[in-house]
Chain A
């Protein structure tokens, strides 16, 4: 990879998660019935976790609070394409038979708004009240391989080697993760190209594979941490047989073969950075709405801006940060104006950061191939097409 004359220091790739997480091959997998899975969720709840998992709301699969498996999107799957999402019946009782939810776990680890401190003036004295980091324990139920990779990327950026972000750290440190191997790829998925799925390999406490065509339907369960093993040991399960273990690989092979999109991930860094004046940037800039949806749904877009507000009396002030996006003009506003004034420049910033300069900054790609930016772009702009347009020899 050629060195990009950028401004970023090269951080050595490292796991910055709160607890080292093991890979799946350590303990023999167990088998869990739907009733056993419910008992497992109840056990997590009992131990003080807020259960978060997929539900259907307004015709879309989203992550929200759940009570039990009764809340999960039983029997639903999704049809996804550029700017298009519809739910469809599967004809079975699969609980995780959809591909990828509308939003990732990002809002729970790195919420859209976060107060940092507030202050109060009393006479000439200023009292500063720091905002304490939250202490909630959350359990993520149904995290996909691409999402675990995205969380690892956020860990690297927001925890890093320095003090990191105390709010992210506090939320992240207490998360219990139940991952799911994808049994179906969505129309915009390309995790296989990004080496970020569909099989979960690290970063989970428990990992499930849903064997929905068995009767009764069961889950194959791997423990990734001692915390995971302990919760699993507290509920009834049985050792998996050879056929069940083999079924997992068959399912994953099918998922790999059904990726809706693909991208050539060999040296995207040099390809994109060597073509900053390619005419296709202008062309995509004409179609792009600068609406920011792609950055909002991307599980690795974590930029924020910080603002101070005062109340009417001028006696109370608070500082908050909120999600921001490289598509807004304020984001790149320096003295006198925005340095990325055209939409084409903003799109180029987003894509080259995600696929190229992220390597310089963090030692890996910033894209995990979840496809959300394609599905949830109102006009269906597709980064895999953009990469192809740039890779194509110039016309004429």
Chain B
């Protein structure tokens, strides 16, 4: 057992994202004091002014979608001992990765009066596509207990105890009725990584896949069943292209159902 000898320096960085994941840190209410006792929050634009130097842990929210971000993430990697990508944007490109399936310039022209001032990449991609990532914390948004577990694990020098299997296992552990079997609703739970506690099925909705693919996803087999339940090609494509469209297994499956 290692005891804490000095506070570790933590930084929180933001790329293309909605801020929801980093706010999870502030949402840790009861645990904030314990956190403050072990961690020095050295850079956190959501909570105060900026600092400089080297960080023991960098939490990175958001996807890489501009040339400047591409430079910035490399600099962050150099200044960080551990880099943890947090949330669907940082681990799978986020909702904004829908641009990867379309013409980003066309979007820009439709939204901005003078798109020529924009400096944007054609794609929105996860952090791990650009720099080595030590741990990916999934979810849209991430779960605060999972965040605390990752920080506690890094502090102790152990592996975080977090699942990589399907959402279904959590769904059954909480005795939810399976919406696919009992209602014929589309659910991505069988191909999605657990960690949320099977939130959506507990409220009678199919999983939207916000934690991205599980460790051994078989979306083709799931799609065959969804097809039999009456899900058409367009809906199928959209199912796999919501929060984690750029995750390889979901991307490939969505493309099997049309461009």
Q: How far is the CA of A83 from the CA of B179 in the complex (A)?
A: 11
Q: Is there a chain B Cβ closer than 8 Å to A49's Cβ?
A: no
Q: How far is the CA of A376 from the CA of B35 in the complex (A)?
A: 42
Q: How far is the CA of A376 from the CA of B31 in the complex (A)?
A: 38
User: Across the interface, do A289 and B204 meet the contact criterion of CB distance under 8 Å?
Assistant: no
Which residues in B have their C-beta under 8 angstroms from that of A309?
149, 152-153, 161
Contact of A293 among B1, B164, B168, B216 (CB under 8 A): B168
A124 to chain B, nearest CB (A): 9
User: Across the interface, do B204 and A83 meet the contact criterion of CB distance under 8 Å?
Assistant: no
Which residues in B have their C-beta under 8 angstroms from that of A35?
none
Q: How many residues of B contact A (CB 8 A)?
A: 48
Q: How far is the CA of A387 from the CA of B177 in the complex (A)?
A: 28
User: Across the interface, do A379 and B177 meet the contact criterion of CB distance under 8 Å?
Assistant: no
Which stretch from B49-57, B129-137, B218-226 is at the chain A interface? Answer: B218-226
User: Across the interface, do B172 and A297 meet the contact criterion of CB distance under 8 Å?
Assistant: yes
User: Across the interface, do B158 and A375 meet the contact criterion of CB distance under 8 Å?
Assistant: no
Given A314-B2, A329-B215, A378-B187, A292 and B152 contact (CB-CB distance below 8 Å) = no
Which residues in B have their C-beta under 8 angstroms from that of A84?
181
Q: How far is the CA of A312 from the CA of B2 in the complex (A)?
A: 12
Q: Is there a chain A Cβ closer than 8 Å to B165's Cβ?
A: yes
User: Across the interface, do B34 and A313 meet the contact criterion of CB distance under 8 Å?
Assistant: yes
Nearest B residue (CB) for A61: B177
Which stretch from A163-171, A173-181, A319-327, A363-371 is at the chain B interface? Answer: A319-327
Q: Is there a chain A Cβ closer than 8 Å to B114's Cβ?
A: no
User: Across the interface, do B176 and A314 meet the contact criterion of CB distance under 8 Å?
Assistant: no
User: Across the interface, do B178 and A378 meet the contact criterion of CB distance under 8 Å?
Assistant: yes
Q: Is there a chain A Cβ closer than 8 Å to B90's Cβ?
A: no
Q: Mask for B134-160, Cβ within 8 A of A = 1, else 0?
A: 000000000000001101110110100
User: Across the interface, do B1 and A121 meet the contact criterion of CB distance under 8 Å?
Assistant: yes
Contact of A296 among B3, B35, B172, B225 (CB under 8 A): B172
Q: How far is the CA of A317 from the CA of B158 in the complex (A)?
A: 12
Which residues in A have their C-beta under 8 angstroms from that of B161?
307-309
Which residues in A have their C-beta under 8 angstroms from that of B214?
290
Q: How far is the CA of A290 from the CA of B218 in the complex (A)?
A: 8
User: Across the interface, do A312 and B152 meet the contact criterion of CB distance under 8 Å?
Assistant: yes
User: Across the interface, do A107 and B175 meet the contact criterion of CB distance under 8 Å?
Assistant: yes
Which residues in B have their C-beta under 8 angstroms from that of A323?
169, 173
Given A121-B1, A288-B218, A291-B190, A328 and B165 contact (CB-CB distance below 8 Å) = yes
B133 to chain A, nearest CB (A): 20
Q: Is there a chain B Cβ closer than 8 Å to A380's Cβ?
A: yes
Given A83-B181, A86-B182, A286-B221, A327 and B165 contact (CB-CB distance below 8 Å) = yes
Nearest A residue (CB) for B166: A291
Which residues in B have their C-beta under 8 angstroms from that of A89?
none
Which residues in A have their C-beta under 8 angstroms from that of B31?
312
Q: Is there a chain A Cβ closer than 8 Å to B180's Cβ?
A: yes
Which residues in A have their C-beta under 8 angstroms from that of B189?
291, 378
Q: How far is the CA of A308 from the CA of B152 in the complex (A)?
A: 12
Nearest A residue (CB) for B204: A58
Which residues in B have their C-beta under 8 angstroms from that of A83?
180-181, 225
Which residues in A have their C-beta under 8 angstroms from that of B222?
289, 378-379
Nearest B residue (CB) for A342: B216
Q: Is there a chain B Cβ closer than 8 Å to A213's Cβ?
A: no
| Chain A to chain B: the 7 pairs with minimum beta-carbon distance, closest first | A296-B172, A291-B190, A112-B173, A58-B177, A60-B177, A289-B190, A291-B168
Q: List 14 A-B contacts (CB under 8 A).
A: A59-B183, A86-B182, A112-B174, A121-B1, A290-B166, A292-B169, A296-B169, A309-B152, A310-B155, A329-B165, A329-B215, A375-B181, A378-B178, A378-B189
